[in-house]
Amino acid sequence: MSHGGRTSRRSVLAGASAMLAAAGVPVVAPRAQTGADPLPSWNDGRAKQAILDFVHATTDPSSKDLVDPEDRIATFDQDGTLWIEHPIYVQAVFALDRVHALAPQHPEWRGREPFKSVLAGDMAAVAHFAEPQWLQIVGATHAGMSTERFEAIATAWIATARDHRFNRLYTDLVYQPMREAMDLLHANGFKVYIVTGGGQEFVRTYARRVYGIPPEQVVGSSIAVKYEMRDDGPILMREPRMFFNDDNAGKAIGINLFIGKRPYAAFGNSDGDREMLEWTGAGAGPRLKMLVHHDDAKREYAYGPGGGLPDTHVGRFSNALMTEATARGWNVISMKDDWRRVFAFE
């Protein structure tokens, strides 16, 4: 089963049960029907019930809305949906750290924006960087090396980098309720994808270990690569230009491109996920559309409608998105009310 390295034996076996059931072999006690609460980090409420009802409707053999296991696709945004994204995206922290690491080889950066502000530690300026600045930074830090070299650098970074507020590894700042939702869907025969605006190759370096998601189930933004035959064999050289922007409409396009099936369940948290939820919701039968609303300043952050943080480019949840969510009947998850705990370490 391809769900990944950290998948427990229990969920591997649950996955095997789903397969055997699909092959017509009777299976006893599928996980969703056992007595244990499959979503213990969720408070009882509409959001939790929507997930449970959806799983029951799409997988119970007697359901009129039973979905063929082949078609059970669930997609999750990453930043702000599966893990923390404030005050800036984790991958942006990686890029800024790389600017510092590479600065000795680029003395000219001290006098040239956007590098100058980064090297001066001017985070107020960094917070206002727009796409052109970030493209320059990504070009300088994510390109000009082979895919293997990039993977090694990113893997080493994520193993030790810590969030300042929580003083935790970023990989510890995964939302436990969402891990449970992913596991519940997987255990019920859903193929679970991450569909992220972040870098596909960056997320792939830890997705298996952290989320149990293998590389081929990570769809993300990517830069162009070029095939080069060297003396010791071929490499894929990363080039400083965008190939695919997996955000906004790009999420619906990326889902079609990489998966070729319409999801039955989609989880997001920002305007960048709007088209993914629209595309999911446009399918026939039961479709689960969930949006995380960060309204918990105490345990995490409060931003978006009613939130106290300034509306920077990070994780923007606009009033227009909330209006659309209400109009289309999407489920808005209140981090404060719906999540019994936010992180596994709590």
Contact footprint for a copy of itself (CB under 8 A): 1-2, 4-5, 9, 12-13, 15-16, 19-20, 22-25, 70, 147, 191, 200-201, 204, 208, 214-216, 218, 222, 225-227, 229, 233-234, 236, 249, 252-253, 256-261, 275, 278-279, 282
Look up residue 264 and give its two tokens. Answer: 């039955």
Rounded CA separation 345/222 (Å) = 32
Residue nearer to a copy of itself on the CB measure, 36 or 229 = 229
Residue nearer to a copy of itself on the CB measure, 22 or 93 = 22
Residue nearer to a copy of itself on the CB measure, 90 or 203 = 203
Q: Which residues pair with 236 in a beta bridge?
A: 227
Shortest Å, Cβ 274 to a copy of itself: 10
Residue nearer to a copy of itself on the CB measure, 41 or 75 = 75
Shortest Å, Cβ 168 to a copy of itself: 27
Q: How many residues does the chain have?
A: 346
SS3 239: strand
The residue type found at 56 is H
Look up residue 192 and give its two tokens. Answer: 């679970």
Distances (CA, A) of 149 to 93, 223, 235, 238: 19, 15, 10, 10
Residue nearer to a copy of itself on the CB measure, 3 or 294 = 3
Shortest Å, Cβ 192 to a copy of itself: 12
H/E stretch holding 55: helix 46-59
Shortest Å, Cβ 16 to a copy of itself: 5
Shortest Å, Cβ 238 to a copy of itself: 10
Rounded CA separation 194/241 (Å) = 23
Shortest Å, Cβ 7 to a copy of itself: 9
Evaluate whether 200 touches 219 at the Cβ level (below 8 Å). yes
Distances (CA, A) of 339 to 46, 235, 332, 334, 346: 12, 45, 12, 7, 12
Which alpha helices (DSSP H) does 188-268 contain, by range? 200-211, 249-258
Query: What are the two backbone dihedrals, phi and then psi, of residue 206, each rounded to the nearest 5 degrees?
Result: -130, -5
Shortest Å, Cβ 86 to a copy of itself: 28
